[in-house]
Structure 1
Amino acid sequence: MILYPAIDLKDGQAVRLVHGEMDSATVFNDDPAAQARAFADAGCEWIHLVDLNGAFAGRPVNAAAVEAILAAIDRPAQLGGGIRDMATIEAWLRKGLARVILGTVAVEDPDLVRDAARAFPGQVAVGIDARGGRVATKGWAEETGVTAPDLARRFEDAGVAAIVYTDIDRDGAMGGPNVDATAALARAVDIPVIASGGVSSLADLQALAATGVIAGAISGRALYDDAIDLAEALAALKG
C-alpha cells in the first residue's frame, strides 16, 4: 500500500481543514515546495496535492504553488481541485503532474472523465468525496443523492487509474479512517482505491493495509502534527 503525504493548498500556503470547512484552515507551512521536498527526502513515493481554492472556484487558483512543488521534487504528484475541463487537464499534465484527480465533473460530466482517461492512460483518477455515504461536490459544498459505490461503478470500464475516496466526516479530524466503507468500495470495483480522511496513526495505516484491497492512503494533518513519523510509516508499509 502506498502512503501519499498530502499538501492542501489555500492562498499559496500548505494548510489542513477540519471536515472540509475553509474557515477552519490551519497553516502548517507557508512554503509548500519546501514541505514537498521534506516529504520526498523522507522517502515517499508520491505527493498528493489539493487546490482548495480551486475546488470552490472551479478553476486552478494555486497554480504557482503547484508549479513550485513540481520543480522542487523528483517524485510523481497527483492534484485535485478545480480541474473541470480538458484544457485544464492537458495543461496540468504538460506541466509535469503525473495524475489529475477529477471530482465534481465525475458527477456532472462523466463523459469528460472517460474522454480524459482514454486520452491520458494512467494519468486520470476519480475523486469521490462522501458525507454520510453520499457524494459531495464543489469543494464539498454541495451534496448529491449519489452513493460512493454507485458513482465508482460508473467508471468501471473507463480506464481510470485510481479512485481517491474521502470520508468528509473523518477528514482533518484525527479520528481514524473509515476502514469498512473504504474496503467495501474497493471490493465493489476493480479500480484501485486510495483512502483519504482521518488517517491519524501508524495503526490506521496498518488497518487499511490489512484489508488487502486498499491500494493507498493519504495523510496530512497527522504528518504535520508528528502523530505519524513518515519514515517509520513508509518502512512499516514496505515491511
Structure 2
Amino acid sequence: MILYPAIDLKDGQCVRLLRGDMAQATVFGDDPAAQAKSFREAGCAWLHLVDLNGAFEGHPVNAAAVEEILDAVDIPVQLGGGIRDMETIEMWLSKGLARVILGTAAVENPGLVREAASAFPGQVAIGLDARAGKVATRGWAEATVLNVTDLAESFEDAGVAAIIYTDIDRDGAMEGPNVAATAALARATQIPVIASGGVSSLDDLVALSETGVIAGAISGRALYDGAIELGTALSTLNCRAT
C-alpha cells in the first residue's frame, strides 16, 4: 500500500482543514515546495496535492505553489481541486503532474472523466468525497443523493487510474479512517482505491493495509503533528522510494 503525504494548499500555504471547513484551517507552513522536498527526502514515492481555493472557486488558484512543488521534487505528484475541463487537465499534465483528480466533475460531468481518461491513460483519477455514504461536491460544500459505490461502479469501464475516497467527517479530525467503508468500496470496484480522511496513527495505516484491498492511503495532519513518523511508516508499509 502506497502512502501519499498530503499538501493542502490555501492562499499559497500548507494547511489542514477540519472536516472540509475552510474557516477551520490550521497553517503548517508557508513554503509548500520545501515541505514537498522534505517528504521526498524521507523516501516518499508519491505526493498528494489539493488546491483548496480551487475546489471552491472551480478553477486553479494555487498554481504557483503547485508549479514550485513540481520543480522541487522528482517523484510523481497527483493534484485535485478546481480541475473541471479538458483545458485545465491538459495544462496540468503538460506541466509535469503524474495524475489529475476529478471530483466535482465526476458528478456533474462524467463525460469529461471518460474523455480525459481515454486521452490520458493512467493519468486521471476521480475523487469521491462522502458524508454518510453520499457524495459531496464543490469543495464538500454541496451534498448529493448519489451513493459512493454506485458512482464508482459507473466508471468501471472508463479507464480511471484510481479512486481517492474521502470520508469527510473523518478528515482532519484525527479520529481514524473509515476502514470498513473504504474496504467495502475497494471490494465493490476493480478501480484501485486510495483512502483519505482520518489517518492519525501508524496503526491506522496498518489497518488499511491489512484489508488487502486498499491500494493507498493519504495522510496530512498526522504527519505534520508528528503523530505518524514518516520514515517508520514508509518502512512498515514497505513503500519507501529509492
Q: Same fold (TM over 0.5)?
A: yes
Deviations 1:129-184 (A, max 9, x none): 00111000000000000011011001000000000000000000000000000000
Residue 117 of structure 2 is matched in structure 1 by 117
Residue 193 of structure 2 is matched in structure 1 by 193
Work out the CA distance in 2 between the residues paired with 1:170 and 1:73: 29
Work out the CA distance in 2 between the residues paired with 1:168 and 1:214: 18
Residue 77 of structure 1 is matched in structure 2 by 77
Work out the CA distance in 1 between the residues paired with 2:47 and 2:123: 14
Helix, strand or coil at the partner of 1:48:
strand
The answer for unaligned runs of 5 or more in structure 1 is none
The answer for unaligned runs of 5 or more in structure 2 is none
Residue 95 of structure 1 is matched in structure 2 by 95
Work out the CA distance in 2 between the residues paired with 1:154 and 1:103: 14
Residue 210 of structure 1 is matched in structure 2 by 210
Helix, strand or coil at the partner of 1:140:
coil
Identity fraction in percent: 76
RMSD: 0.6
- Runs of 4+ residues over 2 Å off in structure 1: none
Report the CA distance between 1:117 and its aligned residue.
0.1
Work out the CA distance in 1 between the residues paired with 2:160 and 2:29: 32
Residue 36 of structure 1 is matched in structure 2 by 36
Residue 159 of structure 1 is matched in structure 2 by 159
Helix, strand or coil at the partner of 1:129:
strand
- Does structure 1 residue 49 correspond to structure 2 residue 65? no
How many residues align? The count is 239
Helix, strand or coil at the partner of 2:172:
coil
Work out the CA distance in 2 between the residues paired with 1:75 and 1:206: 23
Work out the CA distance in 2 between the residues paired with 1:81 and 1:154: 21
Residue 237 of structure 2 is matched in structure 1 by 237
Residue 16 of structure 2 is matched in structure 1 by 16
Q: Please give the TM-score of this superposition, normalised by the length of structure 1.
A: 0.99
Work out the CA distance in 2 between the residues paired with 1:182 and 1:132: 12
Q: Please give the TM-score of this superposition, normalised by the length of structure 2.
A: 0.98
- Does structure 1 residue 137 correspond to structure 2 residue 137? yes
